[in-house]
Amino acid sequence: MRPGKGSRPRTRVRPAHDQAVEGFVVAVDRGRYTCLVGPGIPRINGDARATRPAKGAARRAGKAERTLVVAMKARELGRKGIVVGDRVAIVGDVTGRPDTLARIVRVEERDSMLRRSADDTDDIERPIVANADQLVIVTALADPPPRPRMIDRMLVAAFDADIDPLLCLTKSDLAPPDQLVSHYEPLGVPYVVVEKGSPLDELRERVTDRISVLVGHSGVGKSTLVNALVPQARRAVSHVNAVTGRGRHTSTSAVALELPEGGWIIDTPGVRSFGLAHVSVETVLAAFPDLNEAAVDCPKGCNHLGDDCALDRFVAEGHCDPARLESLRRLLTSREGSDDD
């Protein structure tokens, strides 16, 4: 006999999960999410200063109370993606014991989302990291040579996500940074120069008490920087291929690591493309407030690259530095074509 439907009607009311524990996603691996639970994790509104270590017994007690919990995504979340940096609500077994599995039942509101598309013909957004407040663009001055078009694309992604960019130039013992620095000076992008074997005091100061995500193509030294900033990280490093001039992927997934001085850095796998099909012209222009006001006089549908653009007249009248307009158009052009230049 076929069983009956029962007398209890199905309800759309879902549990509130009022007793859920707050967690911070530090790693994602094939549908399993490693979350840090306990005191000192980043709170709502991206307050990375909550991670500043306490002193003495208070610091040791806080560390002891924190737990790494492996969780899965609850069915009620549907297709909502979860990425490293997300603040989540967790229910179930949150002891962190081996062979236990909790459930993520809610993803808290994000302060920021760093995204990219697979290429310039694919407008599907692919989230990379959530809740970061600083994008550290790591590029080598030589071996492999710098790729300005790739840097431009990452700057556009930072403007789109409303994240502060920081240019980190490595391997300055092989080539001087002057030319590349002057290239981005009109944009006002801050930078640090790193030399092999030299202390990382300036970089360490800029990432302390912040949630910083490190991006760059393979072989530029991201994992080496991470190992220097977080000695216990033990991220794998590799060498650049002498034939192709490119590095080999050693970081296979994004992972969040806590800095001893306070704050977090998120190491990401090396990228060889950074699609921007999801970013609009208006988003890029908004990063140039001195030019954005003059854009109201442009023809309808102006892409700010043609001869009839009102920005040319605005600059010719002396209202803005021509280098700023050149930088804007370079970023707009970087949304199209290859980023290997």
Q: Alpha-carbon distance 235 to 245, whole Å?
A: 22
Q: Alpha-carbon distance 61 to 214, whole Å?
A: 30
221 annotated to a ligand binding site: yes
Q: Which is nearest to 266 in space by CA: 277, 257, 275? A: 257
35 annotated to a ligand binding site: no
Our CA angle for 280, 294, 329, nearest 5°, is: 50
320 annotated to a ligand binding site: no
301 annotated to a ligand binding site: no
Size (the chain), residues = 341
183 annotated to a ligand binding site: no
220 annotated to a ligand binding site: yes
218 annotated to a ligand binding site: yes
Would you say 223 and 194 are in contact if contact means Cβ atoms under 8 Å apart?
no
278 annotated to a ligand binding site: no
Residues 6+ apart with CB under 8 A from 186: 321, 323, 324, 326, 327
Q: Alpha-carbon distance 183 to 166, whole Å?
A: 14
Strand partners, 256: 266
216 annotated to a ligand binding site: yes
112 annotated to a ligand binding site: no
Would you say 40 and 62 are in contact if contact means Cβ atoms under 8 Å apart?
yes
170 annotated to a ligand binding site: yes
Q: Alpha-carbon distance 144 to 217, whole Å?
A: 9
Q: Alpha-carbon distance 135 to 314, whole Å?
A: 31
Q: Which is nearest to 78 in space by CA: 102, 59, 105? A: 105
φ and ψ at residue 263, rounded to 5 degrees:
100, 180
Q: Alpha-carbon distance 276 to 126, whole Å?
A: 10
Binding-site positions read: 170-173, 216-224, 298, 302, 304, 309
Binding-site positions for GTP read: 170-173, 216-224
Binding-site positions for Zn(2+) read: 298, 302, 304, 309
